[in-house]
């Protein structure tokens, strides 16, 4: 297995999962790839301050962010998140060099446990139909397809331009162990 910078192999128990703080926002642009989401992430961050959602990052012991996942507690799409029994996981990604080592599964397990502690019974998510790797992972983690979504949504990029996204997706759901 590749060991970045000849450091000792990464162990899951050494990773830190914590909530995003304001100073993390630039790092969530991942060196430019997600600069386009700057406004949207700023808005999600502001909503997180009033507990509408929670933004998680996973870091190495040296504080480098290597992954993220956000959780929405209440959405206009009540089937995804109703503020009571169902919460919606989104923007889940692990940096490429850290994939396939269990980091994503570790983060998902952490999030599911946190949701149970908050009294949620189900976790929901969308996965693009052209993302078979993520679909397979979710299935292995116990998520089941419950429907299909057009995946049409839009956001304002960092320059204020409206960007339309068309990403046909599967809606998946997992009954948490307290569900």
| Interface contacts to ligand COA, rule CB under 6 A | 92-94, 99-105, 127, 131, 133-134, 136-137, 140
Which residues does 168 contact at the CB level (< 8 Å), separation at least 6?
Answer: 128, 129, 130, 148, 149, 150, 151
Q: DSSP 3-state assignment of 54?
A: strand
**CB-nearer residue toward ligand COA: 115 or 172:** 172
The nearest distance, CB 53 to ligand COA, in angstroms, is 16
**CB-nearer residue toward ligand COA: 79 or 134:** 134
Which of the 8 DSSP states describes residue 74? B
**CB-nearer residue toward ligand COA: 9 or 119:** 9
Q: Cβ(142)–Cβ(125) under 8 Å?
A: no
The nearest distance, CB 160 to ligand COA, in angstroms, is 26
Rounded to the nearest 10 degrees, how much is the dihedral formed by the CA atoms of 74, 134, 164, 42? 50
The nearest distance, CB 162 to ligand COA, in angstroms, is 22
Q: Cβ(178)–Cβ(157) under 8 Å?
A: no
**CB-nearer residue toward ligand COA: 42 or 102:** 102
The nearest distance, CB 151 to ligand COA, in angstroms, is 11
- Cα 133 to chain centroid, rounded: 15
Q: By beta-carbon distance, which residue lies closest to ligand COA?
A: 104
């Amino acid at each position: 297995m590749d060991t970045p910078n000849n450091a000792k192999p990464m162990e899951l128990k050494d990773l830190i999962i914590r909530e995003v703080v304001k100073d993390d926002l630039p790092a969530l642009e991942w060196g430019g790839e997600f600069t386009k989401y700057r406004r949207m992430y700023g808005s999600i961050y502001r909503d997180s301050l009033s507990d509408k959602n929670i933004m998680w990052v996973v870091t190495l012991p040296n504080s480098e962010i290597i992954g993220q996942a956000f959780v929405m507690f209440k959405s206009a799409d009540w089937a995804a998140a109703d503020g009571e029994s169902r919460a919606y996981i989104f923007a889940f990604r692990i940096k490429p060099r850290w994939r396939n080592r269990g980091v994503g599964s570790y983060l998902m397990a952490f999030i599911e446990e946190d949701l149970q502690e908050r009294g949620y019974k189900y976790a929901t998510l969308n996965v693009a139909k052209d993302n078979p790797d993520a679909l397979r992972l979710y299935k292995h983690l116990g998520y089941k397809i419950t429907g299909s979504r057009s995946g049409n949504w839009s956001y304002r990029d960092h320059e204020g331009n409206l960007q339309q996204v068309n990403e046909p997706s599967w809606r998946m759901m997992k009954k948490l162990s307290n569900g």
